[in-house]
Structures are given as structure tokens and as C-alpha cells.
Structure 1
Amino acid sequence: MKMLHLSVILLTLSGVLAHSDWGVNYPNNPICAVRGFSVSIPCSYYYPTSKPNIQVTQKLWCSMNSNTDKCQNPPYVYNSASITTSDFEYAGDDKSDCTLLIHNVQFSYSGEYRFRFITDVSGGMWTGEPGATLQVADLKVSLIRLSGIGTLKQGDSLNLTCDVNCTQSSSQFVWSKNNERLNTSGPVLHFPAVTVRDSGSYTCTWKTNRASGSKAISLLVEGGWGVNYTTPICAVRGFSVSIPCSYSYPQHNYQVTQKLWCSMNSNTDKCQNPPYVYNSASITTSDFEYAGDDKSNCTLLIHNVQFSYSGTYRFRFITNVSGGMWTGEPGQILQVSDLKVSLIRLSGNGTLKQGDSLNLTCDVNCTQSSSQFVWSKNNERLNTSGPVLHFPAVTVRDSGNYTCTWKTNRASGSKMISLLVEGDNPENPDHWSVWMIVVVTGGLIIIILAIAAVIYHRRSVHIEQQKEDDSDIYANAQQKEDDSDIYANAQQKEDDSDIYANV
């Protein structure tokens, strides 16, 4: 019974894995491609596998636009038997994959494509019918005005739309500006109120799992005269700060000929006359550096900031047209402060000792909501963030140089404070050297005592052995003496016997 079940299972699996007929599979739906780009036409084929030695000898693709003979005779867009270079590339194999790649797609490539394969057995050939359908369209990117007429101006509303006029449900649209990808997805890019900053080259990339294409459109927004500043900026004395700034003018064919920055601490003439902290017409070296351009960016960098640099700054630019100049008012406010790092005792007094509690605090006395505080010890960053570094119970190991670094997106600064906690530090080399001397000395004494004990033991054993040897020698000597006496007595008796005999 078990053998019967096994036979049924094997027959079932054999039916799944083996083919007994011929065929070609294409996608059920038409494939959409964008003119000028590439497309992949997926395809698979099969043939009887009851004969394991069957080999595919020739693979053919034909377009039904030019081939009316069911792909049985030329012309072919691809023929594995001939080496030709064209827009049609075979990306399959000799087993089951018959995928076709078409490059630089043209409108004339639209239509039905069929795959035919020939094997090494008599009559072993097949053409897949009805075939795969390819649709070719242009990718269109359009600007649709929602408000405003004529030249695009600041405040106008518009949409950029991306469209491919063929059936494809799984399309994906990706937008980018000046080759930088945007977060917006979908066929429509909406601008409720454009600004000069929206000017640029916009690209829509259309994608499916088989094809892709992209097209660009330029957006040119004309603005009036203006300079844009930000909220008050905080800077730390002795460090650098960036003052972001942008400017605009009516026509893009204007040329900016001069750029000026002035401090209202010393300039009361609306920046129209000197003194200037920066003047593009003169080459001077100072703490004020222009980091903008001649188009729209007027960012100012200030190095080695001092308290005297606090105040309002204005940007002025002059163009090549008569009367084409502008000063941005009211200006940009800069606040300068010291970075203060303080030690606040929470317990203990006098010299810091182990167990004392304290806080290290970092403070910048000016308005800046987006501040970030970073702490480090002996130039190694700590995991703690925030303006307060808390020590619930200090130890000698907490001694060191602590640095607070204050950061914003426009400025930064740092300051250091030293922490010295009294007590024995087990990590102190001197501490370890004393203990090392004690340990080594103790070890040497133990070794010497052990050696002395061994020597003493050996000598004691030697003396005992010597005594035993001496006893043995004495006993032997006594034995010899006794033997001598016995011998002498015997000899005497013998002599007496001789004398008695003679008598």
C-alpha cells in the first residue's frame, strides 16, 4: 500500500516538472514603452522533456508588422543563427527563457511580436501565437497654469504633469530638480505659489517593471526686486557664523555687477554709501566673507565673531541696467554671546572629592531654538546630549577636560572646563607602581622563603642519611672486631691443642 502511494506521488511530481507539449508564454496585457528608451518583453517557452537529450538549435523573434508567415520564414528582428547588430537583443537562453530587449524604441516598433524555436528532433519546432503586444508612446511633461498669465512671476500657481499615452497600470513617476530627486511622487507636481527659487530644470522619470523613460522641462520664474533674510541669528564670540540670504530681480537677463554688505552700526545711509563690511568691487581681507553668487544667493560668512559685530546687516546689489539696484530692508539681525560652561556643586564643598554631586552646564545667552549641545571628555565624545552634564557621585575617574560644543545650522562654538577629583585613582600609573612594588617585593620574599625551606629540608635529610651511614659503618667495624676476637680465641685453642699434643 505504501509503495502504491509513493508511485502516485512520483507520477504526480513527474507531471508537474515535465512537459509533454510545446508552447510559448507572453504577458497577458500589452507592454508600454517610451520612444527613445528601452523595453523588456518577458517570454518563456517549453517543449517535451520526455526525451532528455532534446536540444534547442535556433531561436527567432519576428514582428508581425513585416512578417506574415507565422514567423516561419524571414524577415526576423532576431535570429540566433546570424550575428547582426540591431536594436533587438536576445536576453534569454536555450532552456526556457526567451526574453527580448528592444533598445532605442521607435513608433514603428509598435505591434505584435512572436517567438519561434527549433530543436534537433524531426518536426521539433514551435511558434508562440498570438504573441506579445508592444505599444510605443512619447513621454510628455507639460506646464499647466492655474493662475497668472504671460511670463511666470512669483506667486503664480501651476502644475507640472507627466503623461504616457498607453495602457500601463503599474506605472511609477519620479520627479527631480536639477538632477536632485524630490520627495513628490505621482504624475503631477503642484506649485501653489512659485518663487524665484523654484526656477530650474525639472525631470519626470516614468518607470514600470519592463520599461522606463524620462523627460525634462525648464521652469523660469521672474521676481521683483527683493532680498530675503531669516530670523535673528545667534553666534558665539570667537567662532564663525553663516548669515543666509537670497535676492531677486525682475529679469533673468540682468547681470549683477556689484554686491555689498553693510552693518547698520556704522552705516546710516541705507547701505548706499560706505562703509561696507563687504564690497565685491574691492579686494580686502577681513572677517567678512561673501559665500553667495551673482544670481540669487547672497550668503555672508563672518569669522572670529566679536561682540561689536552684533547688530543689523543689510545686503545691496547693483545690476547693469539704469536704476537697477536694491537694498534689502530691514535687514538681518545678528546676536553675539559668549559660550559659558559652569560647574554647579550639588553637594560637598571645597576641593572636589569622591562622592560629591555636581552639574556641568553649557549656556549661550541669545535666542536660538534649534540649538544642539555635544559633550566630550578628553576629546572623546560622550553619549550625553543637552545643556547639562550630571554627576550624581563623582569619582577620581571623572577627572579630565570636558568640552561643550554648541551647534545650530548656521553657527557653532565650543568651550572647555577641567574637572579634578581628589582621591586614589586605581587607573593612576603611580598608584599602580606602588602596589606593583609591594606585590613584587612580597612575591620575592615568598620565593626566597620557599627556597630556604627547600634547602633546609634537603640538608636535614642529608644529615639523617649521614647518621644512618655512620651507624652502618660502626656496626660493620664492631662486627669485624668481634670476628677478630673469635678468630683469635680459636687460634689460641688450636695452639693450646698443639702444645698439649707435644707434651
Structure 2
Amino acid sequence: MSFNTIYLMLMSVRMAPRLPLIFLLMIHGVSSAGWGVSYRHSHICALKNSSVIMSCTYTYPTGYKIKKVFWTTNPVKGKESPDLSEDPEYRQRLQYLGDKQQNCTIRLSHVTQKDEHKYYFRFTTDKADVKWIGDPGVTLTVTDLQVEAPERVTEGHNVSLTCKSSCTLTDRATFIWYRNSQPLTERRDRNNQLLLQSVRREDAGRYSCALHGHSYISPAAHLSVTYPPVNPVISISPSGEIKEGESEISYS
């Protein structure tokens, strides 16, 4: 690159109008040095009615003092981002666990599908024009649980029931199973499947599942157990032919 080229570039920068400091902070590789927000998870799948921890840390250059820290959702360019702690929908459920130095973690309790948003941490400094919002944010998905099971199974056969969620739960989960609202205490596993081997008539009933440490219980799925009678059934067809067959008895 020639001297004249460098000179012209410098002159064009000097002649350009001054940019607001907030814009300068967004120039990659120059003004963004020392500024940033880091999230532990960019996506969280949480169980309905549970509490969610959104962990994050933030950094800023020396010489600045943090004035305000807060979380927001779906920010709109050119508009002031709302503070969720002041929103009636969140005020009683959101707890800031961080500080004004480095930690920006929050807890959001009793989550429902209405809370499915993208959440961002934001902070302002003692310099009026300096504000920062942390991309890419945290996407929250809230799921319930559903039991997937066949409607009926023949006595003596094996059957597998699955506790399903709409997304993969972020936290490791221990599954608990219930039959007719009574916990199957021996059925606690990190696997979301319940295997019933050599099914008996006593295994018939309404099955539901939950996660250990959570109050939410899935809707129940009904399992019927059928088996052939001990004695054969003799039937006579309209033609007068005698047939020997089997009928099924169902236990629910």
C-alpha cells in the first residue's frame, strides 16, 4: 500500500463526522475489545413449572463503572430495552443472582410456554452513551411430559413405555414412574423408558411419569393387559360346523 493511499485513508477518517460512542463500541475488532457477555447455554430446554438458571458472565474495560444490570427479551433496535424485573409477568418470578462486577446469572421460576423467548443480558455504565447488550442471548423452550405406550399388551409379553418431551432437557434428569397415581419406587432411572417384562394382569393401569425433584406429573396413559382364557371356547357357526377357538379377556 503506497504512502498516498494511506494518507487519503487517514484524511477520510479525520473528515468523517463523529460517530456516537455506542456505535463505536460495536465496531468489530477495535472498540469491542474488553466488552462482552458469555452465556453458559445458548439454548435451554426446561420442564413446565420448573425453575431455570441462566448462567452468564460479562466483561468491560477498566475505567468504567457499571450503573445498571438487567435482563430483557426480544430487543428492538432503536428502542430502549425493558427491564424484566419491572415487568408484572416476571417481577415475582425473576431473581438476579449476579453482581455489578462479572456475574450476570438469573433464576426464572414457574416457567410456562408463555416464557418461550430469547433472553439477553444488558448493562449500562457511568458514561451516558455506553450501553451493552449480550448477543446471542439464551433461547428458552418449555416442555411438558407425555407417556407413549401401546393401548394393550398380551400377558407374558414385554412392553416399553416412554416418557417423552418436546425437546432434550438441558439438566440431567432422573425419571420417576407412577401406576394409578402410586409411585413405582423401584423405577427411578436416567433412562426415560420403563420396561415391563413378562407382563401380568396386575400391570394394567394408568401410567404417568415425572422428573425427580419436580412437581409436574404427566397426563396418564392407559395400559390394558389381555390374555387367552384357560378353557377353550366352543362356538357353532350358522352352517352348523363346530369350531374351537379362543377369546380374549382384557384387564384394565
Give the structure-2-normalised TM-score: 0.60
Contact kept in structure 1, 2:152 and 2:226, CA below 8 Å? no
Deviation at 1:125, TM superposition (A): 2.7
Contact kept in structure 1, 2:117 and 2:140, CA below 8 Å? yes
Matched position secondary structure for 1:78: helix
Deviation at 1:115, TM superposition (A): 0.9
- CA gap of 1:87–1:189, structure 2 versus 1, over 3 A, is same
Deviation at 1:189, TM superposition (A): 0.7
| Residue 122 of structure 2 is aligned to residue 120 of structure 1 | no
What's the % identity of the aligned pairs?
A: 26
Contact kept in structure 1, 2:38 and 2:134, CA below 8 Å? yes
- CA gap of 1:114–1:29, structure 2 versus 1, over 3 A, is closer
Deviation at 1:118, TM superposition (A): 1.7
Misfit runs of 4+, over 6 Å: none
Paired positions, count = 193
Residue from 76, 92, 105 that aligns with 1:68: 76
Pick the structure with more helix per residue: 1
Structure 2 counterpart of 1:267: none
CA distance in 1, matches of 2:170, 2:46: 13
CA distance in 2, matches of 1:106, 1:43: 22
Structure 1 counterpart of 2:30: none
Could you tell me which runs of 5 or more consecutive residues in structure 2 were left unpaired when the two chains were aligned: 1-32, 228-249
CA distance in 2, matches of 1:185, 1:129: 33
**1:265-321 Cα distance to aligned partner (Å, 9 max, x none):** xxxxxxxxxxxxxxxxxxxxxxxxxxxxxxxxxxxxxxxxxxxxxxxxxxxxxxxxx
Structure 2 counterpart of 1:161: 162
- When the two chains are superposed, the root-mean-square deviation of aligned CA atoms in Å is 3.8
Deviation at 1:58, TM superposition (A): 1.5
Matched position secondary structure for 2:153: coil
**1:182-238 Cα distance to aligned partner (Å, 9 max, x none):** 24441211113322443566553348xxx96743436666789xxxxxxxxxxxxxx
**1:152-198 Cα distance to aligned partner (Å, 9 max, x none):** xx445432211112245764342244233524441211113322443
| Residue 85 of structure 2 is aligned to residue 78 of structure 1 | yes
CA distance in 1, matches of 2:215, 2:42: 20
Higher Cα radius of gyration = 1
Structure 1 counterpart of 2:111: 105
| Residue 195 of structure 2 is aligned to residue 194 of structure 1 | no
Contact kept in structure 2, 1:38 and 1:103, CA below 8 Å? yes
Contact kept in structure 1, 2:119 and 2:139, CA below 8 Å? yes
Aligned pairs for 1:131-280 within 5 A = 131-145=137-151, 147-148=153-154, 154-155=155-156, 157-168=158-169, 171-177=172-178, 178-179=182-183, 180-198=185-203, 202-206=207-211, 214-216=216-218, 217=220
Residue from 56, 63, 70 that aligns with 2:66: 56
Give the structure-1-normalised TM-score: 0.33
Contact kept in structure 2, 1:196 and 1:222, CA below 8 Å? yes
Matched position secondary structure for 1:147: strand
Structure 2 counterpart of 1:283: none
